Amino acid sequence: MSNERDVSLDAMRGIAALAVFGWHSMLAFYPLSSGYLGATPIAESARSQFWFVAVHGAGAVAFFFVLSGFVLTRLSLTTGRTDILVRGLIKRWPRLAGPALVAVLGSWLLFAVGGYFYAPAAALSGSSWFARFGGALTDSSFQPSFVGAFLQGAVLTFLRGDSTYDSSLWTMAYEFYGSLMVYALAFLLATRPALRARLIVIGGAAVACGAANPALIPFVAGFALAALLPRQGLRVPAPVGVIATAAALLGCGYTQGALGFYAPLTAIWPAWLPIPYLYAAAAALLIATAEGWTGMRRLLSRPWGRACGELSFPFYLVHVPILCSVGAYAFLATRSAPAAIAATLLVALVGATALAGFSRWWLARLNVAVGVVTASFQRGRLGRTGPIASPP
């Protein structure tokens, strides 16, 4: 059952990546409909339509963060094994950096060969987001270079959030630091199953993140779900699952002040409370439902869900450069936004498939390297404690 659950959660990550793609496509080709670019009243924009959750990038990114907090710590918190955390901590940066570096170098290559057409396409669509390379270029002095791309993809996007070669990479710093945080919290609680201890640590982390940076709250929510959800999960009846899923999607699709379908949340959600709290709660509810509702888990665990999950991170990394190159070129050639979006999606899936192959190879090498490191560490510990622990 654990493998099945893993597949279902990975499938949800893939669906969220498609939502991010939908949001960026809207910003590029339908800027007025987005409700963020231009003067379209919010009641007439996509933000007030029931289907907005399917293209709401902010809600999808928050879901990524909650899911990371959950999957990175769940096994350790349910088994009490800290060795899982050690291996995960060692691998976290190189695991993310390998595919990110490939994507950034690919973007640099597109700059080098003149493969980007976002500027003339933006002039045609009227998108200021598109004109700034997907919001990545805020400084006109930016000059692409191989060294700059290498440093950004390997290090700077994780330490500082640099994303001038691929605007999607702004999330990598949050992902990296959020991962370190939940690993540290899991170390505190892995061998402390008492509910009181877990509630104290979770509450302290929530208060600290709320004061320092509310954008980290989704990681705390995912960690809290991993720490508090019963080991065997919850049994969610189908009617409850339908209601919980609908409520979670309502929360993930909401933006401050939205009307129409989302008007009830505008009436009850206080304007002073940061929106990441709502997204974190909605995403945690969605994950808990997927873990406990057998029908939902089975649906997401089919072959299409497995493929969707495997391509999720590579697709997330490559879709903006392809949108600004292939998509922009197709838009200029056809004057058709649907044709441009379809071309982007097709090529992005091909690129994601190739990057997923590299990611499998990279992860296999990392697992071997981490195995050697941890085995050497264990031998060192046995060497130091062996004479004391040995029988007379």
> Tens digit of pLDDT for each residue in 219-269?
999 999 999 999 887 899 999 999 999 999 999 999 888 888 888 888 888
For residue 5, pLDDT beyond 60: no
Would you state the pLDDT for residue 3?
41
Share above pLDDT 90 across residues of the chain, in percent, rounded to a whole number:
79
The pLDDT-based confidence of 380 (bands split at 50, 70, 90) is low
**293-322 pLDDT tens trace:** 999 999 999 999 999 999 999 999 999 999
Q: Which of 25-34, 50-59, 268-277, 303-312 has the lowest mean pLDDT?
A: 268-277
Per-residue CA distances from 181 to 77, 92, 174, 275, 311 (Å): 15, 12, 10, 21, 26
User: Can you give the pLDDT at residue 261?
Assistant: 86
Which amino acid makes up residue 26? M
Average pLDDT rounded to a whole number, residues 27-47: 84
Contact (Cβ atoms closer than 8 angstroms) between residue 105 and residue 258: no
Distances (CA, A) of 282 to 22, 182, 261, 365, 376: 20, 19, 16, 36, 43
Residue with tokens 């060692």: 90
C-alpha angle 364-366-368 in degrees, rounded to nearest 5: 75
Is residue 79 within 8 A of residue 362, CB to CB? The reply is no
pLDDT value at 387 more than 60: no
The pTM assigned to this predicted structure is 0.92
